[in-house]
Amino acid sequence: GQQLNQSPQSMFIQEGEDVSMNCTSSSIFNTWLWYKQDPGEGPVLLIALYKAGELTSNGRLTAQFGITRKDSFLNISASIPSDVGIYFCAGLYGGSQGNLIFGKGTKLSVKP
């Protein structure tokens, strides 16, 4: 089946640093979403993107839907300790029958 390649797998950063992660696919996607999972919790939607080239912000988070429709990235500016968690990209494509396909996640650790 379709796969999303998410990188990096993990990141260890200092508080205050900016973070960037991305997701790529070999196929065209119609929708890109970014979720965050806190330890012991279910994923929560951060940002949803529906058009190629779309750039959307949510506080310190910014995500973009790639022009080729085969990639997306998420940036976090001025990281804080509560940014710790696993970030997942997810997407919908023509053959997914409305079911989300998830990347394998980026585990973020922030040193105070």
Partner 1 sequence: NAGVTQTPKFQVLKTGQSMTLQCAQDMNHEYMSWYRQDPGMGLRLIHYSVGAGITDQGEVPNGYNVSRSTTEDFPLRLLSAAPSQTSVYFCASSPRPGGGTGELFFGEGSRLTVL
- 90 scored as a contact of partner 1 (CB under 8 A): yes
Query: Could you tell me the smallest distance in angstroms from the CB atom of residue 111 to partner 1?
Result: 22
Phi, psi of 82 (to 5 degrees): -75, -5
**C-alpha–C-alpha distance, residues 14 and 65, integer Å:** 27
Query: Could you tell me the smallest distance in angstroms from the CB atom of residue 91 to partner 1?
Result: 7
Residue 81 three-state SS: helix
CA diameter of the chain: 43
- 40 scored as a contact of partner 1 (CB under 8 A): yes
Name the site residues for partner 1 (rule: CB under 8 A).
1, 4, 6, 9, 31, 33, 40-45, 48, 50, 88, 90-92, 97-100, 102-105
